[in-house]
Amino acid sequence: MTRTILLLSFLVASAAAKPSFEVASIVACKPGTPPPPGEHAGMVQFIFPGGRFQAHATTIKYLLEWAYGLQPSQHSSGPAWFEGDRFDIDAKAAASTSDLDMKYMAQSLLEERFHLKYRRESKEAPVLILSAGKTAPKLYPPKPDEQTSMKMEPLTGENQKIISYRIVATRFSFAQLNLTFARVLDRVIVNQTGLQGDFDFSFDLSPDTDRPNPMDPDLLIAALRDQLGLTVKSQKAPVDYLVIENIDRTAAGN
């Protein structure tokens, strides 16, 4: 008997409720423009204080994944330029705009300026199931004055040589854990711990000769299991899937 375990929904608001940027400039980058640091790991900052949105040298593929909360395995391929052409996008919203509304505004920009059209389906994809073990996971209530953040701090040994990297998360949810690490793990992270809300936690990533990259998926999975006390299981499960029906290469209004 086949049992549906979950359906992971991407971020989407109804057309009537979806906000838009007050103003947005879209400029195509020169061919060969390099990607911004951190793009390969899904760690590019688009939101800045004062309601500013800045996406420099981004691809429309990456912007779509960021705006809709998708992993690469959760959408169909677009045209050849979709992940090759790069754009500088500068936009403005009210200073009080939330991060979630910024993502909805980026959706509006894709739909209004690039004429993105899509449909939603369910598709089997690799996922990483996190559940609670026999002992409580090492996840702690956040302090009242803490802001949501995740930092990667190098730890040094003799001769100031870096021996490991400490990940320190404050006021972090399982949804944010998924958005941060799913791209590195190449699979969606699913919370089946029964725990909801935000937490403080930390773990160390110690590269070695066989795994010199501190963000190696094996190191991440081992840290979630051995340091945070989570049960980790890889399998396939149905996830929300976005099928791209149309996307224009030239932004309207430019």
170 and 100 in a common domain = no
135 and 103 in a common domain = no
pTM: 0.78
Report whether 62 contacts 94 (CB < 8 A): no
Please report the pLDDT score of residue 109 as a whole number: 96
Query: Of the candidates 70, 78, 103, 107, which has an alpha carbon nearest to the alpha carbon of residue 239?
Result: 70
Per-residue model confidence as pLDDT tens for the chain (254 residues): 333 334 345 666 555 578 999 999 999 999 999 999 888 777 788 999 999 999 999 999 999 999 998 888 899 999 999 999 999 999 999 999 998 899 999 999 999 999 999 999 998 888 999 999 889 999 999 999 998 889 999 999 888 889 999 999 999 999 889 888 988 898 889 999 999 999 999 999 999 989 998 989 999 999 999 999 999 999 998 888 999 999 999 887 76
157 and 112 in a common domain = no
Residue 177 lies in a domain: yes
151 and 228 in a common domain = yes
Residue 133 lies in a domain: yes
User: Which residues span the domain enclosing 144?
Assistant: 124-237
175 and 79 in a common domain = no
47 and 147 in a common domain = no
Query: Of the candidates 168, 229, 225, 230, which has an alpha carbon nearest to the alpha carbon of residue 202?
Result: 168
119 and 40 in a common domain = yes
The full length of the chain comes to 254
Q: How far apart are CA 115 and CA 109, in angstroms?
A: 9
SS (H, E, C) 137-156: CCCECCCCCCCCEEEEEEEE
157 and 73 in a common domain = no
Please report the pLDDT score of residue 1 as a whole number: 34
The DSSP 8-state label assigned to residue 135 in this structure reads S
107 and 78 in a common domain = yes
Please report the pLDDT score of residue 41 as a whole number: 74
Sign of the alpha-carbon dihedral angle for 100, 101, 102, 103: positive
Report whether 196 contacts 168 (CB < 8 A): no
Number of independent structural domains in the chain: 2
109 and 68 in a common domain = yes
Query: Of the candidates 45, 124, 72, 107, which has an alpha carbon nearest to the alpha carbon of residue 247?
Result: 107
117 and 141 in a common domain = no
